[in-house]
Chains A and B, each alone.
Chain A
Amino acid sequence: MTDATFAVTQSKVEQFTRQYLESLGCSIDDRGQEWAVAVPEDANTTIEPGEFTLVRSADEEELDEDERFLHPESTFFQELVEEAADRAPIGSMTLTADDVDIRIPEWITESDAEVGDTSFTPYYDRTALTVLFRVSIETVSEYQTQLLRAISLDIRSKEPVPEITNEYLERTDMGGGDLHERTDELSEERLHDLLTTASEEVQEQVQPDIDEIHDDASRAADVELEDYRRLQEQRISELEEEIARLGDRITELRDTLQQTDAEADRMDVLRRRKQCKEEHDELQAKVQNLRRQREAGFPEKQQEIRNRHALDVTIEPMSLALLDYEKGELEITIRQGRSERTFLVAYGSGVGVTEAVECEICGHELSSENSALLENGDIFGEGCCGMHG
């Protein structure tokens, strides 16, 4: 699974806009900082037919009625991208030996050995499904995170084929465009099944991103809960103060009552004492409730805060492509000094060498870190047996 996003620069924006407009049949007259664009009547687009000018600048100067800005944030570009993104989400291509350069494994490219002849013999065809998934992670305390991830699965084994993803992303980069469409289709059911597997695979692989945000969100919830706890503590001590004040007042009233003789005055004091007592009891009940909640850890509030901070992760397939590739054997000759060796390895077009090659002395796998040395026709690892001979 690979990050499929582009770093959006002005030049990428211009490159895409030009290619897309031209594919719609529009003509562009480049006048330096401005492009004069003509849109034909029958163009299959939401852009109005006729002529307008694209200004390649982000300066917020006044525009004439027939002028539009062209930069990464401009409305025109946003609308253009939105239209194109929805146009043909399903595609296909072939990666046969004729279309793809031979990929020499790193244990050779990183070595001092020279590559002589190479020849690939395809034995059977394979197909991979490459999907772009939009992963959106939402929570209240963070900006929404949106990722675009590409993943390829071999349709027969359902195993990920990362090399195919790389090839696909390379071919769909700006300046790409060498897509050879394939013909046969897969049943919707089969595609549905593969997409489900791919979606799960994406979830697994995007898990570290989710975990990071999850952690931050949990911390944010915890801080909020802590704030709430502090607030309630404060509330409890305020109530306690208020209760004590009312207690004192009740005692005062009791004393007053004892010193009051007149009936009417006594009634008034009694009324006031009753009022105070009611208020006192009411606050007592409140504070007891709060204390109970505190002891239990404010379960309701906790639940409410945690629910609000919970993460919503959505994984949505945005496009898919079927890629045919070939598997077979690669015959490759390497030379170093006066030594030369020709050997066969399992190979896939667009995938590269698919079998591990080992040091002929100690059996360690050859890799970019343990690149090949060739001596007297033997291939061995520079890292594991470099001092040999």
Chain B
Amino acid sequence: MADYDLVGVEVTHEDPDPLLKRSEEKESGEHLHTVQALRLEAGQPDSELRSLKKLDDESVKLLEHQVDAAYRALFEMDGKALLADEVGLGKTIEVGMILKEMHYRATDDSVLVLTPAQLAKQWQGELLEKFGLDFVCNYDDEFDGFDSHDHIIASIDTAKSDRYRETVLERDWNVLVLDEAHYVKNEETDRYDLIDALTYDYAFFLTATPIQNELTDLYNIISLLRPGLFGSRDAFHHYFVNNSQETLVNREELQDRLNRVMIRNKRAETDIDFTERNIDTRTFETTCEERQLYEAVSDYVRGAYSEDQGQKLVLMLLQKEVVSSPAALEQTIEKRLHEQSELTHADELESILDLIENIETVTKQDRLLDIVEEAREHVEMGRVIVFTQFRATQREILDRLATEGYTTHAFHGGHSSQEKEGIVANFEEEGGVLVSTDAMSEGRNLQFCNIMVNYDLPWNPMKVEQRIGRIHRIGQKREVYVFNMALENTIEEYVLDRLYHKIDLFQQTVGELSAILTRLEDSSTSFEDEIFERLVEADSEITLENDFDAMAVDLQEQQDLAEKLEEFNNGVFEGFDLGASDD
């Protein structure tokens, strides 16, 4: 019951007589038009994105072209659209907006989002953090198959696998989202078959490069969305593609038809403007004790992996921790010794613990002080964000900084969301150093800071970009400085020098990176696995260098290909106006 007095209500039942007097002669069908007109009149406010005002400004900043794309896809294209913006303009945000609106209107009983395997978790995170939409991912422990959940994000290859294909096809999905839709360009593939056989009411396909090899790719993708829009394959070919297969002809008519199903925003026509990003990678010589520890751990990892590949994850962890901090390493080893009493090579682990004991100077910690001191002198309130992958490292850094008299803030996954908000607010207000694990959520608004330090480096390029994205985002008005810290002649230096710098990772946007990484999708191992395998399998330093160079060459090739494809697509759609209306 309300704790306030209610205001009055006056209900008037209008006199029905004026309506009853209207029984004049009518032609058949007129009543139908009247009822339809009444229903249209009453429904008019419906053609707006009602959920817009429900979005949290702090979590997502929508750009005009994104809102416009969501609107057109939903209301002008009747919920079947190919979102083909140029790379980096936020197609995921457009789909998030669309799904949010459908959720608001309760037209999303069952939603299937199919993505490349590497991007599935990222989709899940973005939809939750930016739009409050909760999806189950096929990599989650709670995933029980495609017939057990109503909102699913899955890798397209999992969906088409023999294990799941039948259940995926059995359902009538309300909404299908297909990321990197050029996957279905070829009608003779299992992926195409799957999408062709799926039943759905609404579909949103995403790709920056709808054309991969030849112009008929476009026909295939669009025919899945709107069968018949281009007529038969031959007709499309004869009418819209010139003989050399390189350009589209009858462009005006083609634009008209594409306009009914495809949206392509161009970077030059949007107001996206990022400030400069400065990268400063610093490598440091290790102390003798640190070097001994690194060698011992690397030898142990290599030896243990050759005996039992089943413990890969924990070995990978040790290899990452040794370059992060002795404290992180110590914690994992002790836990391992404590939990597994019959552990082989326990003695080796014990001696690693002894080596950790010997370490008096932690080089990275000392050098971090140089960076934060510089910031304290030159930047407003000395604000710096330091990222590390490990809680133990985080604790060490915090202790050290506090001892040196810095204002510190800790951020990790163990805080409640209210606490997290408080931490960010304190950091903004008090300045100093925020030491965070990768639990810092995407949606958090940290544009008030423009300096970040990668104290250690994730072996997954997307994670690195996500860290940078916390401060280098729309709304950041100052230049951004990213410091990378690495120990010389360690795995970290290889990853940094040979891989990340080769593809100019630190200057890539998330969109550009996914374009590169998803091209590697066909190889079944993940980026992290590849790094680890190369590390443990190399029998000499030379082999290791060569292996990393080879990986870099692969990446470089994919990057070149991705760029070429984008250029090609831009060329094909040159002069086409398929973007948002600009006024």
- A317-B19 contact in complex given A8-B43, A91-B32, A310-B7, C-beta closer than 8 Å: yes
B:9-52 near A, CB below 8 Å: 9-14, 16-17, 19-20, 22-23, 26-44, 46-47
CB of B256 within 8 Å of the partner chain? yes
Stretch from A99-107, A271-279, A318-326 that touches the partner: A318-326
CA distance A103 to B155 in the complex (A): 40
Residue on A nearest B582 in the bound complex, by CB: A59
CB of B489 within 8 Å of the partner chain? no
CA distance A191 to B11 in the complex (A): 21
Cβ distance A94 to chain B, nearest Cβ, rounded Å: 13
B:341-386 near A, CB below 8 Å: none
B30 partner residues in chain A, CB cutoff 8 A? 23, 87-88, 91
Cβ distance A146 to chain B, nearest Cβ, rounded Å: 6
What is the number of residues of chain A that contact chain B, defined by CB distance less than 8 Å?
79
What is the 8 Å Cβ interface bit string for chain A, positions 286-329, against chain B (1 contact, 0 not)?
A: 00000000000000000000110111111111111100000000
CA distance A179 to B499 in the complex (A): 70
CB of B541 within 8 Å of the partner chain? no
Q: Which residues of B line the A interface, CB within 8 A?
A: 2, 4-14, 16-17, 19-20, 22-23, 26-44, 46-47, 74-76, 78, 105, 253, 256, 259, 581, 583
Cβ distance B99 to chain A, nearest Cβ, rounded Å: 16
Most chain A CB within 10 A, of B7, B42, B75, B105, is at B7
- A192-B17 contact in complex given A59-B583, A81-B40, C-beta closer than 8 Å: yes
Verify A310–B78 contact, CB threshold 8 A.
no
In the complex, given contacts A91-B34, A179-B29, A313-B11, what are 8 additional A-B residue pairs having Cβ atoms less than 8 angstroms apart?
A87-B30, A87-B37, A88-B34, A172-B36, A174-B36, A210-B9, A214-B6, A313-B9
A320 partner residues in chain B, CB cutoff 8 A? 19
Verify A9–B78 contact, CB threshold 8 A.
yes
Cβ distance B228 to chain A, nearest Cβ, rounded Å: 15
Verify B38–A319 contact, CB threshold 8 A.
yes
Residue on B nearest A141 in the bound complex, by CB: B7
CB of A7 within 8 Å of the partner chain? yes
Cβ distance A142 to chain B, nearest Cβ, rounded Å: 12
CA distance A173 to B35 in the complex (A): 9
A319 partner residues in chain B, CB cutoff 8 A? 19, 31, 34-35, 38
Verify A313–B10 contact, CB threshold 8 A.
yes
Cβ distance A262 to chain B, nearest Cβ, rounded Å: 63
CB of A90 within 8 Å of the partner chain? yes
CA distance A181 to B28 in the complex (A): 7
B22 partner residues in chain A, CB cutoff 8 A? 88-90
B32 partner residues in chain A, CB cutoff 8 A? 91, 172, 176-177, 179
Complex A-B, nearest 8 residue pairs according to Cβ-Cβ distance, in ascending order? A91-B31, A148-B42, A84-B37, A88-B30, A5-B43, A316-B14, A222-B4, A85-B37
A59 partner residues in chain B, CB cutoff 8 A? 581, 583
A321 partner residues in chain B, CB cutoff 8 A? 31, 35
- A192-B10 contact in complex given A8-B40, A9-B75, A85-B41, C-beta closer than 8 Å: no
- A90-B31 contact in complex given A32-B256, A85-B41, A318-B38, C-beta closer than 8 Å: yes
Residue on A nearest B252 in the bound complex, by CB: A32
Label chain A's interface by main secondary structure: mixed
Most chain A CB within 10 A, of B20, B22, B32, is at B32
- Tell which of B6, B16, B36, B583 touches A16, judged by Cβ atoms closer than 8 Å: B36
29 contacts between A and B (CB under 8 A): A4-B38, A5-B46, A6-B39, A6-B42, A8-B40, A10-B75, A11-B78, A19-B33, A81-B37, A84-B34, A88-B22, A88-B34, A90-B26, A148-B39, A172-B36, A172-B39, A174-B36, A179-B31, A188-B20, A195-B16, A306-B7, A306-B8, A309-B7, A310-B10, A311-B8, A311-B9, A313-B9, A317-B14, A320-B19
A:199-221 near B, CB below 8 Å: 199-200, 203, 210, 214-215, 217-219, 221
Residue on B nearest A90 in the bound complex, by CB: B23
CB of A72 within 8 Å of the partner chain? yes
CA distance A36 to B40 in the complex (A): 23
Residue on B nearest A217 in the bound complex, by CB: B7
Verify B29–A84 contact, CB threshold 8 A.
no
CB of A229 within 8 Å of the partner chain? no
Verify A72–B19 contact, CB threshold 8 A.
no
- A314-B14 contact in complex given A7-B43, A9-B75, A181-B28, C-beta closer than 8 Å: yes
CB of A12 within 8 Å of the partner chain? yes
- Tell which of B11, B16, B42 touches A146, judged by Cβ atoms closer than 8 Å: B42
- Tell which of B7, B78, B256 touches A311, judged by Cβ atoms closer than 8 Å: B7
CB of A58 within 8 Å of the partner chain? yes
CA distance A218 to B37 in the complex (A): 34
- A315-B11 contact in complex given A84-B36, A85-B38, A148-B38, C-beta closer than 8 Å: yes
CA distance A77 to B105 in the complex (A): 24
- A72-B44 contact in complex given A89-B22, A318-B19, C-beta closer than 8 Å: yes
B581 partner residues in chain A, CB cutoff 8 A? 58-60
CA distance A86 to B26 in the complex (A): 12
CB of A355 within 8 Å of the partner chain? no
- A214-B43 contact in complex given A177-B29, A192-B17, C-beta closer than 8 Å: no
CA distance A181 to B46 in the complex (A): 31
CA distance A322 to B46 in the complex (A): 29
